[in-house]
Amino acid sequence: MKRMLPSFCLACALGVAIASGQAPQNPTDTTAPSYDMKAQALLDLQVVQKKCVDLAEAVPSDKLTWRPTPDARSFAEVFLHVAGERYGILSMMGATPPAGFKAREFEKSTTQKDRIIDELNQSWTFTDKTINGISNADFAKLLPKLGPQANEGDVVYILVADAHEHLGQLIAYARQNGIVPPWTVERQKKKAAAAGK
């Protein structure tokens, strides 16, 4: 059951994404889209990547095996889940994960900080290259195997949503362990410096 849950959640997310994108509320709207989904998705994913790496660097090595409950993922497992989901989700639209990538074993493959950060960076390079390799027109390319109205844009949307979900999880883990996220520390320093002027 535990292994089936992520697949079920992914299927539900895909269903919601597809259902919400089927028919516009105003079919006579001929204005151009308000933003470029490809550029926005890459920007969102890049922000999450930086925050994940910054947070991985801030977590003490002896805390990487910490988990909030015995049946929850550890810090290390969540970081690796973020990296592994990039391969898994993008493979839904035909991207090929690196040779040797074994999804079922990946999350438990290491608890070493340097390797975790390396895996995050490698999977980000894969993600950036894959999404940059899709034309804007291909975002509307149908993927019938995922559903009658599913398209490549839906897959990228799911990746963005998943990335933000796990970043939130990692922030909660950090806060529970008294670790202030590095970007919060930086903001606090700037605020203190501005107040001291």
For 121-132, the pLDDT digits (tens) are 999 999 999 999
**Residue 178 domain-assigned?**
yes
Phi-psi region of 73 (alpha: psi -120 to 50; beta: other; left: phi over 0): beta
Convert the pLDDT of each residue in 21-52 to its tens digit: 554 455 677 767 666 889 999 999 999 999 99
Q: Helix (H) and strand (E) counts for the chain?
A: 7, 0
Structural domain includes residue 1: no
pLDDT tens digits, residue range 83-101? 999 999 999 999 999 999 9
57 within domain boundaries: yes
Which SS3 state, helix, strand or coil, does residue 65 take?
coil
Answer whether residue 18 is part of any domain: no
Given a cut of 90, is residue 68 above it in pLDDT? yes
Query: Which residue, 115, 111, 117, is CA-closest to 49?
Result: 117
Give the distance from CA 183 to its chain's centroid: 18
Range of the domain at 58: 35-187
> Residue 65 sits in a domain of what CATH number?
1.20.120.450
Which pLDDT score, from 0 to 100, does residue 1 have? 43
Residue 76 lies inside a defined structural domain of this protein: yes
What is the rounded distance in angstroms from the CA atom of residue 108 to the CA atom of residue 1? 18
Q: Is it the case that residue 110 has pLDDT exceeding 50?
A: yes
pLDDT at 161 over 80: yes
13 vs 50, higher pLDDT = 50
CB crowding 30-57: b at 16 or more within 10 Å, else e: eeeeeeeebeebbebbeebbebbbebbe
In a domain, 78, yes or no: yes
CA-wise closest residue to 73 among 46, 124, 47, 111 = 111
Is 144 inside a domain boundary?
A: yes
pLDDT at 5: 46
